[in-house]
Structure 1
Amino acid sequence: MNFGVEEARKITKASKVPLHFVTCDEDARLASEIALAAGWTANSVTSLQECISHSKTITLEDEIRLMQYDARLAAIYAERGVPQCPWNTSHLSGYDSAGYHSFVHVTEAVLAAEQGVKCQFLSHGVNMNLLQDIAMIRVSEKLCYEYCARLGYEGVEFIAGVYPFLGAWPPRDDEANAMIAWNATIPVMGGFPGMILKCQDEAFATPTKEGMARSVRLARHMLTIMGSQRMPDNEALRREQSMIELEVRTLLDKCLEIGEGDMAVGLCKGVAAGWIDTMVTPWKHNPGKVLLVRDAENAVRYLDTGNIPLPEEVKEYHRTKIAERESRDGRKANIDMVVEDIQSFSTLP
């Protein structure tokens, strides 16, 4: 936007790797036009994600229309021989359930596929629990493929990746480095090819190029140390994955039901009716009835599901996990615990 096609093309010529255009704009159409015309290989295809993360007043219906333009633009480039892999992101606010993350990914996947997008990068904002984050990403991948095929969009490819925790970061380099290292561990242990990094400056100001270089070196050495280690299959992982999948399927099928097969219509009706909901967002159309806390292993759980129509099995699973935390801490989970958990990773000893 600031420099136009010619200046953006200089970056393309100077780079040996693909370039992705990332934005926090509700309306990124002009910026997408500039980036793709300059030879960049990805824009963003986000609607509900954009509303939750960066918007206040725009309606989901209007945001979907803007997203459809960006998605169709990427598809046109690909159809004419210029490969594109738009980012389907579910970073949200950093205080969202694993199921909500996956639900957003699958809905965005379907909306982009409707516009002809054949390759999407799934950028998952993580909650910082290794087992839950791996389960979440596996559910997203599985259901993105399944629901696109189910709705007639064949041949769509998905590449999974991890985006750093978007909650509050610690205001000291040592603790920030621990956050970076842990964020790098999750995609390695899950076997996912995509890794995005933040840097030590995250809690202080706009990240610097020097800080980002340090993060890259740290993450690269983590890859060297970890080698081919992966999270082994286990009962806890399978159980977590099955609960997330059951939650996401329930919401997706309800969207398709009330939208009469149209995911966009179902999403808009779901928000209006109050059963598509998360806890923290500047977006005024979000119902805000949900409360989330961490369990004894720091996984994110529903303390209050609001009006989300979760199956009773999922609700009971979350209640059981919260009860383990209550037993450990010797107190009941309540709004005070919710507030404490929001600052749990940024509080210095």
Structure 2
Amino acid sequence: MTGTLEITNSKLPDSVFDAEREGVLQSWHTGADVDFEAGLARQHALPSEKRFSAALADADETGKTLLQPRAGVALQREHTALMEGLAPYCDVLPTTIDAYTRHNRYDEAQDGIDRSRAAGTSLLNGFPAVNHGVEGCTRLVETVSKPIQVRHGTPDARLLAEVTLSSGFSSYEGGGISYNIPYAKNIPLEQSIRHWQYCDRLVGRFEEHGIRINREPFGPLTGTLVPPFVSHVVAIIEGLLALEQGVRCITLGYGQAGNLVQDVAALRSLRRLGHHYFQNAGYDDYQLTTVFHQWMGGFPEDEAKATAVICLGALAAKQARATKIIVKTPHEASGIPSLEANQAGLKATRQMVNMIADQNRNDGNEILTEVEVIEAEVHAVMRAVLKLGKGDIARGAVLAFESGVMDIPFAPAIGNAGKLTPVRDNHGALRIFETGNVPLPKDVMAFHRDRIAERARSEGREVSFDMVVDDVRAISASKLIGRPSVAA
């Protein structure tokens, strides 16, 4: 391995965790207020309507699709007001964390809080939960009426987990791969996986005391032309790593790619693949749900066109039988969305979900074909990862990225090969233009090449990288995907 840390997929011993915890809690002064027993008491006191795992279980049992926005501002009072303004329009709440906190730069986050207070408006792109500490976060949880989740993007999220889970947050997003490779440049993968083993072990400790906290690996990764099998492999690996540490409530996610058939097939296959690999690894006492992320790429600036993108995502999510939808706003192209923009996205999504509530049983042959392709790709890569790690999924993941067996398109991490290149076919589904070192089966690659060639013939041009460039810009430029560049 390139790093000095030897990573294995094994439950952290109590002695190791406790020694590490002492240093984590001392890394910023608000860590001194974290007390596990007090955190347990807060979690036990939560009414069922504020428990994320309960909301997910009920949705899965009844066929309801939960809606969740993304939102966060710098100051406690304003963030609480934002959550209260969103609550009537959604089922579960977020708290999006600011960029300084995501990089453990708490001094700069505090400066952002101070400047926001002076300016009378948020000057951070999220809520600095570590700086607000257990007291501030507890007041937030106590005030809001619905379950609340930490959404962030942090390679080292240990202190953030300690503060927020002790305060009563009942869901925690992210993972050692999904919050490193797509987000960071120079952080060794074995280091971020090890830090997230700590986060998962903390959740596992709550589970052992009767508190079920939901864990959600981040599905969309870079959000740019990510083939379903790529995000599926990451989600499954992060799920396995979490289960080993004692997590028992997992939500696997997928980011909308833009082709309705492929998006439906992707999310449906994700649940089946998750069960397959979790059970094959010996786990059977877990709760598995799914989340569909509406379009994570560039958005049109025009609000009407942006709303159309949101509605397509709502349609795909409901057809795919997602447990939860991460809802975008008509203002995605213009910066941090306002409360009103978030409400608009939620209302549009709710309307679409309600209209097709009784129409989500589409199981055509095209969907079944896509499911078969995705599952063949996932199995091929997972076999290679397990072989590299000699059965250890943590070691295998590190070695897979080192060798290019795992490769996330357009990711900034220097440890990512960046050779796997996706492109759309004539119907907008994602296909593989270049495999790099990813070991996809020959028959699967023949399928991809045939679909890409079909597009080239339709557009009257040669298969080339120019297609990839066109596809990256298609939605934000309000153009059709997988077809000649005709203005929508």
TM-score (normalizing by structure 1): 0.97
1:107 aligned partner, one-letter code: I
Asked if 2 retains the 8 angstrom alpha-carbon contact of 1:44 and 1:70, the reply is no
- Note the C-alpha offset of 1:44: 2.3
Output one character per residue of 1:306-327: Cα deviation in whole Å (capped at 9) or x when no partner.
1111100110111111122112
Structure 1 residue 341 and structure 2 residue 471: aligned? yes
| Cα distance between partner residues in 1 of 2:174 and 2:472 | 28
| Cα distance between partner residues in 2 of 1:83 and 1:270 | 32
| Cα distance between partner residues in 2 of 1:47 and 1:130 | 30
Asked if 1 retains the 8 angstrom alpha-carbon contact of 2:226 and 2:408, the reply is yes
1:21 partner SS: strand
Specify which of 252, 269, 277 is matched with residue 399 of structure 2: 269
Counterparts of residues 38-187 of structure 1 (less than 5 Å): 38-94=167-223, 95-187=225-317
Structure 1 residue 207 and structure 2 residue 337: aligned? yes
Asked if 1 retains the 8 angstrom alpha-carbon contact of 2:421 and 2:432, the reply is yes
Structure 1 residue 188 and structure 2 residue 332: aligned? no
| Cα distance between partner residues in 1 of 2:392 and 2:173 | 21
| Cα distance between partner residues in 2 of 1:317 and 1:39 | 48
Structure 1 residue 238 and structure 2 residue 368: aligned? yes
Asked if 2 retains the 8 angstrom alpha-carbon contact of 1:45 and 1:68, the reply is no
2:214 partner SS: coil
1:345 aligned partner, one-letter code: I
Other-structure match for 2:355: 225
Other-structure match for 2:417: 287
2:149 partner SS: coil
Asked if 2 retains the 8 angstrom alpha-carbon contact of 1:45 and 1:70, the reply is no
Output one character per residue of 1:35-88: Cα deviation in whole Å (capped at 9) or x when no partner.
111111011241221123211111111110011111111111122122211112
| Cα distance between partner residues in 1 of 2:447 and 2:408 | 19
Aligned-residue identity in percent:
31
Asked if 2 retains the 8 angstrom alpha-carbon contact of 1:45 and 1:88, the reply is yes
Asked if 1 retains the 8 angstrom alpha-carbon contact of 2:384 and 2:405, the reply is no
Shift >3 Å, 4+ stretches: none
- Which sections of structure 1, spanning at least 5 residues, go unmatched? none
| Cα distance between partner residues in 2 of 1:119 and 1:160 | 11
| Cα distance between partner residues in 2 of 1:104 and 1:220 | 29
Counterparts of residues 243-262 of structure 1 (less than 5 Å): 243-262=373-392
1:158 partner SS: strand
Asked if 1 retains the 8 angstrom alpha-carbon contact of 2:385 and 2:405, the reply is no
- Note the C-alpha offset of 1:231: 4.3
2:423 partner SS: strand
Specify which of 327, 330, 347 is matched with residue 460 of structure 2: 330
- Note the C-alpha offset of 1:7: 1.3
Report the count of equivalent residues. 349
Counterparts of residues 314-329 of structure 1 (less than 5 Å): 314-329=444-459
| Cα distance between partner residues in 2 of 1:45 and 1:169 | 23
Asked if 2 retains the 8 angstrom alpha-carbon contact of 1:271 and 1:285, the reply is yes
